[in-house]
Amino acid sequence: MRNINSDQIYARGMKTLLVALCLAALLQTSLAADGSFNYNDQSQWGGVCTTGERQSPINIMTADVAQSSSLTPLDFSNSWEETTSNGIFTNIGRTVKFLVDSTSPNVTTRMPVGIYKFLQVHFHWGNRSGVGSEHRINGQQSELEVHFVHSRYGNPNALAVVSVLADTNTRPISGVWATLNASRVANFSDNFTVYGLNLSSLLPTNRDYYYYEGSLTTPLCDETVQWFVLKNQITVPAAYLEVLRSVRDITGGVQDYNYRQVQPLGGRIVQTLGSSAATISSSSYLMALALLTILAMAV
């Protein structure tokens, strides 16, 4: 048997403490992937969240948006308008989410990047009026952002999110907002089955969009998302927003806001469906030039 002096005991104690700290750090990292990360210290989000070069959300400056004639309109036909979905509405600790169940008909969206299957819809909100959305248009935040998460048929890792921004109205909670009753998911892991959700009632009538390549807006911030941010907003009852601001997170604390700060655009160019001005063809350009020349000669 060896003699152990107090220095050795101290050293062993320190080693045990270090191991415990490392384990705690590891646990923290793994927990981050399942929803316990914190919106108050976003600079601590690790990995690609910090080092990535196509992170989301972004501030969309409309004057810098490029018109692209290779984009096509989003097609939400059939299942979006003509059928309803069943699924589970859950408080997942950082947001509330409706997950369509496997017995519902597939809800499909044709996008310029392929044919995608709708998976789930969830919300991002703020703790006071004037904040809430993740994406900003010309620096302006909306009060709520609705994310329709899709994955490509045949490639579940390829994600596309259709994003709808919302401001508030003063109407009572009714329609789709009553169906997705957030009061019933006040605490972490509360859930209930939703029958007959009309998803298209969460979309504006006009579905023109801004398109860019980005990431998930929560850790681990995977850079696998095609973003379609609709130009037109919907409205949400202010009373519903109040309920969202009071739901509890995984620790039992109030999840009073859950939007990520905007990320650098880097070299990315936000695009929109082409028309007129920027896609002016060379022949019409030449015709305009000829017309100007004639006008100039006439003066």
Residue ranges that bind ligand NAG, judged by CB under 6 A: 40, 81-84, 88, 90, 106, 117, 127-128, 153, 173, 178, 181, 183-184, 186-187, 189-191, 198, 200-201, 252, 257
Q: Which residues of 251-273 are buried (b: 16+ CB within 10 A; e: fewer)?
A: eeeebebbbbebbebeeeebbbb
| The entry of Zn ion, ligand NAG, none that residue 28 binds, CB within 5 to 8 Å by partner kind | none
Q: How many Cβ atoms from other residues are within 10 Å of residue 140's Cβ? A: 12
Nearer to ligand NAG, 89 or 211 (CB): 89
Nearer to Zn ion, 150 or 273 (CB): 150
Interface residue with Zn ion among 135, 136, 147, 245 (CB under 5 A) is 147
| The entry of ligand NAG, Zn ion, none that residue 147 binds, CB within 5 to 8 Å by partner kind | Zn ion
| The entry of ligand NAG, Zn ion, none that residue 64 binds, CB within 5 to 8 Å by partner kind | none
Nearest CA to 49 out of 260, 249, 269, 270 is that of 260
Smallest gap from residue 144 Cβ to Zn ion (A): 11
Nearer to ligand NAG, 72 or 174 (CB): 174
Nearer to ligand NAG, 15 or 128 (CB): 128
Three-state DSSP at 271 gives strand
Contact 169, 239 (CB under 8 A): no
Smallest gap from residue 35 Cβ to Zn ion (A): 12
Smallest gap from residue 84 Cβ to Zn ion (A): 23
Nearer to Zn ion, 67 or 224 (CB): 224
Contact 35, 250 (CB under 8 A): yes
| The entry of ligand NAG, Zn ion, none that residue 171 binds, CB within 5 to 8 Å by partner kind | none
| The entry of ligand NAG, Zn ion, none that residue 162 binds, CB within 5 to 8 Å by partner kind | none
One-character DSSP codes across 125-147: E-SSTT---SSEETTB--SEEEE
Nearer to Zn ion, 147 or 150 (CB): 147
CA 154 – CA 202 distance, rounded (Å): 26
CA 44 – CA 285 distance, rounded (Å): 51
Pairing of strands 209-214, 225-230: antiparallel
| The entry of Zn ion, ligand NAG, none that residue 120 binds, CB within 5 to 8 Å by partner kind | none
Nearest CA to 223 out of 273, 158, 277 is that of 158
